[in-house]
């Protein structure tokens, strides 16, 4: 016969558990007869703890009621917002149907998005037109002033050049959008730059003629020095955006990249280059294939002759003009001697390019040219401190350009 097991009720189990905990508590607090004397204090402590628990329970009930009320209010608010949203959505759908003359909401949204795309394109087109108007305005303003007031023409030109540079720099981020617009702005800036350069250079050449440059007795008496300094400043300001753009390329330490020739020196070197071509081109006795040292030593003579002039008159202008800019870190722009050497190098390169094809198959002449070029390069580095604006790596030299760069 199977035995019957009777499980105690949950209430009975709870009462027994409570009795056990009470018994354990009393056994812990009343271990000796002396502890009976503290029975009243023990009871008082228990009552205080019981009262504290009741207060905490009441606080919890109040907090629960407040949270319940807040949740209820929040739920009601969400329902109201959802209802308002539904009404607004229905109103928008109704208006879309009316505006787009559609029968369904999906068709209305499609037509509305098409209209918005057309508006976006119209806005972009308006921006293009406004930009073209601004380019035209700056060009016209600069052309109106650069004859009568060259200084007044510089500001609109600089604004146009900055605009062209900004558009070019923004091209990668814009995924090369609107290339024709960028090309148009660049061409407008380039055309204006050439016109202003020609005008400023012509004025500067007139000043140089009054000074009797590059004669032995250069005259800077009276207002001529001031007029010459103004011409230098004007050409430097015109060229500054180009110089800054070259510096931003961060290629000064890249072999084979030449510093730009400063515009005032480009103009001042022209008569020196004419004299150079007279002596070292054609049938002149100084133009000998076996004597490259003739034209190289002539360049050193030019340095010895005119370096003092540039140190006295040009150096203060360069220091003042480039002070505080990144261009002041490039010796070929801030140092008058280095700037003068940089302006002479193009005519030497042109002469070397003319000479090389005629001696290329004559090892003795080619070897002699290389030897003279190495001596010339070393003289510029050691005697004149020229580094070509190449930083710590230094200037590679004309020899390097012939042997490596031209390959």
Percent of the chain that is helix, strand, coil (3-state, to 5): 80, 0, 20
How confident is the prediction along the chain (407 residues), in pLDDT tens digits per residue? 444 444 454 455 666 776 777 777 767 666 666 666 666 777 788 788 888 888 898 888 988 988 888 889 888 888 888 888 888 877 777 776 666 666 666 676 676 677 677 777 777 677 777 777 888 888 787 777 766 666 677 778 788 888 777 777 777 766 666 777 778 888 888 888 888 888 889 999 999 999 999 998 899 988 999 999 999 999 998 898 888 878 776 554 444 457 899 999 999 999 999 999 999 998 889 999 999 999 999 999 999 999 999 999 999 999 999 998 889 989 999 999 999 999 999 999 999 999 999 998 899 999 999 999 999 999 999 999 999 888 777 888 999 999 887 65
pTM: 0.66
> For residues 373 and 402, is the Cβ–Cβ distance under 8 A?
yes
Tokens encoding 218: 């250069």
DSSP assigned state of 391: G
Going from the C-alpha of 155 to that of each of 134, 150, 204, 272, the distances in angstroms are 14, 10, 19, 32
Is residue 214 reached through a cis peptide bond, with omega within 30 degrees of 0 on the bond before it? Answer: yes
CA distance 171 to 180: 12
User: If residue 335 lies in a helix (H) or strand (E), which one and from where to where?
Assistant: none
Closest CA to 320 of 390, 196, 237: 237
End-to-end CA distance of the chain: 113
CA distance 245 to 113: 42
Tokens encoding 235: 């050409």
CA distance 208 to 44: 113
Q: Cα 6 vs. chain centroid, distance in angstroms?
A: 88
List the helix and strand counts (H, then E) for the chain: 13, 0
CA distance 242 to 245: 5
CA distance 155 to 238: 9
What is the C-alpha R_g of the chain?
Answer: 45
């Amino acid at each position: 016969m199977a035995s019957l097991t009777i499980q105690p009720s949950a209430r009975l189990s709870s009462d027994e558990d409570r009795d056990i905990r009470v018994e354990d508590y009393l056994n812990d607090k009343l271990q000796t007869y002396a502890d009976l004397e503290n029975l009243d204090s023990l009871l008082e402590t228990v009552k205080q703890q019981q009262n504290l628990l009741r207060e905490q329970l009441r606080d919890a009930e109040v907090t629960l009621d407040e949270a319940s009320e807040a949740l209820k209010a929040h739920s009601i608010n969400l329902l109201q917002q959802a209802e308002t949203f539904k009404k607004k959505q229905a109103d928008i759908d109704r208006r879309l149907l009316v505006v787009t003359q559609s029968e369904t909401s999906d068709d209305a949204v499609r037509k509305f998005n098409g209209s918005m795309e057309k508006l976006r394109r119209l806005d972009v087109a308006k921006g293009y037109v406004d930009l073209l108007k601004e380019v035209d305005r700056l060009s016209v303003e600069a052309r109106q002033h650069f004859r009568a007031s060259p200084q007044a023409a510089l500001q609109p030109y600089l604004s146009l050049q900055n605009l062209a540079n900004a558009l070019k720099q923004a091209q990668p981020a814009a995924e090369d959008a609107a290339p024709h617009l960028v090309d148009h702005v660049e061409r407008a800036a380039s055309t204006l730059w050439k016109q202003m350069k020609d005008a400023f250079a012509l004025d500067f050449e007139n000043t140089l003629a009054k000074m009797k440059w590059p004669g032995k007795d250069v005259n800077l008496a009276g207002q001529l020095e001031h007029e010459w300094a103004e011409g230098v400043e004007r050409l430097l300001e015109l060229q500054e955006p180009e110089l800054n753009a070259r510096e931003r390329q961060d290629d000064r330490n890249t072999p084979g990249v030449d510093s730009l020739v400063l515009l005032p020196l480009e103009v001042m070197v022209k008569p020196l280059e004419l004299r150079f071509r007279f002596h070292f081109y054609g049938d002149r006795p100084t133009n000998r294939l076996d004597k490259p040292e003739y034209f190289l030593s002539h360049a050193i003579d030019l340095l010895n002759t005119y370096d003092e002039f540039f140190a006295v008159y040009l150096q203060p202008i360069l220091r003042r003009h480039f002070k505080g800019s990144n261009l002041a870190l490039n010796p070929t722009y801030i140092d008058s001697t280095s700037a003068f050497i940089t302006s002479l190098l193009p005519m030497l390169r042109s002469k070397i390019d003319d000479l090389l094809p005629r001696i290329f198959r004559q090892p003795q002449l080619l070897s002699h040219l290389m030897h003279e070029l190495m001596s010339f390069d070393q003289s510029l580095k050691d005697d004149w401190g020229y580094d070509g604006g190449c930083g710590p790596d230094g200037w590679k030299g004309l020899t390097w350009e012939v042997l490596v760069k031209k390959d």
